[in-house]
């Protein structure tokens, strides 16, 4: 075993992407001694937190996620104020597609006294002429984009500013439990703590195997594509964030598409949960030509303001749960933080607060976020 470190931390967070960093930030804010361990650096292309932007929205079919978004909005503003950094821009969000889904989202927004506007497809296209809209359209002003890599960089700075420690380029080889203590082993040191937060994305199942009872998570490879707007649509104000929730005229086609303008990169478009298998030990970054062609066809049909021939695809990791729910729970000294299935980034600061609460002895009240009993 590598030598036992002379330092014992109140909390060790494994995984320095957005979720682990937000957790360490919250713990450090509360005066706890915290060590964040990241197998790469703050800037890498291997996980789920890199890139320019992600969608922020409050509209959801499930009340629990709208409530979480409301909490996240307040905490995004808190993080921005503390760091003097712009991280969230509310430019408005559009949902469109089948009436049942749009009605559910509208009801949840209304229940929470959040503004929204029903629009006809023609009215929506008049406002955003680079887009074609499906039969039912709902606009929420409380939506927009968050800056992904900028968020991670900001959180790392805040952690250090608050007295936390960060170990980049350090792989956690094993986590062991002995009584009330956990031992986190790297190639050169073993750290002792009574609280380990595992927020390592696709690597979570590998690190906690045999230590907690957890439902299955599957790492998959997603492929977003960026497109250049045609000259007359080259205006950031013409592109709200959007989710097309299954094409109404094709009930057998329940593929959900999303998109947003990423400054400096164009408009990002991708299908949700059209994914390829992923081998973490032999990761391929090669573009799936079929997926790219399908995205180009979607752009041709629904986003005429974009040049479909300007496609530039990249890959990232989705860590998927069968129900697209999160796992945020603690068993013994281990807290698992896995906001899954490509929908977690908008909630980053709120996830950090929840996970910090759990690490400090709290319990998970939301049944669907619990570990298996």
Shortest CA distance to 26 belongs to which of 352, 361, 358, 363? 352
Q: Which of these, 203, 198, 200, lies nearest to 331 by C-alpha position?
A: 198
Residues 32, 309 contacting (CB under 8 angstroms)? no
Give me 30's structure tokens.
Answer: 């509360």
User: Which of 2.30.40.10, 2.40.30.10, 3.30.9.10, 3.40.228.10 is the CATH number of 93-141+218-320?
Assistant: 3.30.9.10
Q: Which among 218, 266, 241, 51 has a CA at the least distance from the CA of 150?
A: 51
What's the pTM?
0.96
Tokens encoding 200: 């390592």
What CATH number should be reported for the domain whose range is 1-89+146-214+323-373?
A: 3.50.50.60
Give start-end residues of each CATH 3.50.50.60 domain in the chain: 1-89+146-214+323-373
Rounded Cα gap, residues 180 and 194, in angstroms:
6
Please report, in tens digits, the pLDDT of each residue of the chain (373 residues total).
Answer: 577 776 689 999 999 999 999 999 999 999 999 999 999 988 887 878 888 999 999 999 999 999 999 999 999 999 999 999 999 999 999 999 999 999 999 999 999 999 999 999 999 999 999 999 999 999 999 999 999 999 999 999 999 999 999 999 999 999 999 998 999 999 999 999 999 999 999 999 999 999 999 989 999 999 999 999 999 999 999 999 999 999 988 877 889 999 999 999 999 999 998 888 888 888 888 999 999 999 999 999 999 999 999 999 999 998 988 888 999 999 999 999 999 877 899 999 999 999 999 999 999 999 999 997 5
- CATH 3.30.9.10 in the chain is located at 93-141+218-320
Sheet of 165-167: strands edge to edge?
165-167, 34-37, 11-14, 196-198, 334-338, 327-331
Residue 236 backbone dihedrals phi, psi, to 5 degrees: -60, -25
């Amino acid at each position: 075993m590598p030598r036992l470190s002379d330092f014992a931390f109140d909390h060790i967070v494994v995984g320095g992407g957005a979720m682990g960093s937000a957790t360490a930030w919250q713990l450090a804010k509360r005066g706890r001694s915290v060590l964040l361990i990241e197998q790469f650096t703050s800037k890498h292309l291997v996980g789920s937190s890199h890139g320019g932007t992600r969608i922020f929205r409050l509209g959801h079919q499930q009340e629990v996620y709208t409530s979480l978004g409301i909490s996240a909005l307040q905490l995004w503003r808190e993080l921005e104020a503390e760091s003097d950094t712009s991280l969230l821009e509310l430019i408005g969000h559009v949902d469109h597609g089948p009436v049942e889904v749009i009605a559910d989202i509208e009801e949840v927004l209304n229940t929470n006294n959040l503004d929204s506007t029903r629009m006809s497809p023609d009215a929506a296209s008049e406002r955003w002429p680079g887009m074609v809209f499906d039969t039912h359209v709902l606009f929420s002003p409380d939506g927009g984009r968050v800056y992904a890599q900028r968020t991670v960089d900001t959180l790392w700075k805040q952690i250090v500013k608050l007295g936390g420690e960060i170990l980049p380029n350090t792989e956690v080889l094993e986590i062991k439990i002995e009584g009330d203590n956990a031992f986190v082993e790297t190639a050169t040191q073993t750290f002792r703590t009574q609280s380990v937060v595992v927020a390592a994305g696709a690597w979570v199942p590998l690190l906690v195997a045999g230590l907690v009872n957890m439902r299955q998570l599957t790492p998959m490879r997603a492929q977003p594509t960026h497109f250049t707007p045609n000259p007359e649509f080259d205006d950031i104000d013409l592109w709200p964030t959007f989710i097309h929730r299954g094409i109404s005229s094709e009930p057998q086609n329940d593929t959900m598409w999303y998109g947003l303008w990423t400054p400096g990169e164009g408009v990002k478009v991708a299908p949700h949960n059209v994914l390829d298998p992923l081998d973490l030990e032999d990761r391929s970054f090669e573009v799936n030509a079929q997926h790219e062609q399908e995205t180009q066809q979607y752009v041709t049909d629904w986003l005429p303001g974009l040049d479909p021939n300007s496609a530039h695809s990249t890959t990232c990791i989705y860590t998927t749960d069968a129900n697209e729910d999160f796992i945020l729970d603690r068993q013994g000294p281990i807290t698992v933080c896995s906001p899954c299935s490509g929908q977690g980034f908008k909630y980053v600061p709120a996830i950090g607060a929840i996970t910090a609460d759990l690490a400090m002895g709290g319990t998970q009240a939301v049944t669907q976020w619990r570990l298996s009993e």
